[in-house]
Amino acid sequence: MNQPPIWRLLITPPAAGAWNMAVDEAIAAHAGRGETPPTLRFYQWQPACVSLGRHQPLADIDLARCAALGYDLVRRPTGGRAILHTDELTYSVAGRQEDPLLAGAVLDSYLRLSQGLLVGLEGLGLRVAKAPPSGRANADAGPVCFEVPSAYEIVAGGKKLVGSAQSRRGGWVLQHGTLPLVGDVTRLVEVVVFPDEAERSLQRELLAGRATTVEAALGRVVNFDEAAKALAAGFGQALGIHLEAGELSPGEIAAAEALQRQVYGHEEWTGRH
């Protein structure tokens, strides 16, 4: 009988946006070279942080409002639109492009990984589904990530619950996404640039009707630890993998420190669009 593939499970302490993005890329690069196992990571953000998609204009965000509210700002290595990371669980999956679970076109691996999310969320008691493959972000999409679900993202009660994005380069795959646990999903609207306050109010109303949290969908609070345990079980079951708890390697930590200093914590990267 074949043994299931062994993946590493990481649960890292809450950290600033630049560090979180640097760690995700460092893990992906090492896993892509086969220096560390394929990895599933769960993490949080401290302080709350607005993340921009890799190619999103910085002008979408009101920097003064961000500062006034105490929000950090970072640009992700993946695409998509702006997200406010607070009161959530963030997951990342990293490994070699040749890995059977990550191989093929982006949407092929998206579909496989979304099954892990789906099974994990069902384990919490949520009634969830995958958005249809026709749901794809386009060039005319607004600045807010949770406006509409993209292909195979997770919805609950018709509202977007999990938003994910993927990057492939240098032989590695990185996919990460956010699961809002509690709170007001429209808070991001406060720091997005709009032509006037009437438009801001309209977008707040639209977003409230299109996105949700675990608490709103389930009717009870699920904390980070409970969500991480359920999602780990879901990935293990759906993907047929064995997760072993681990830690960042010294090489990954050194690479993340360099990426934080030279890329994700540097204004040249953050302001590149």
- Residue 120 phi/psi, 5° resolution? -65, -45
In whole angstroms, give the CA distance from residue 81 to residue 111. 20
CA 125 to chain centre: 21
Residues 224 and 51: their CA atoms lie apart, in Å, by 20
State the residue for tokens 């965000």.
61
**Token pair of 246, please?**
């681990």
How many whole angstroms separate alpha carbon 225 and alpha carbon 137? 31
Residue tagged active-site, from 145, 181, 214, 230: 145
Catalytic annotation present for 145? yes
Token pair listed for 94: 């990293």
d(CA 152, CA 168): 18
What are the catalytic residues?
145
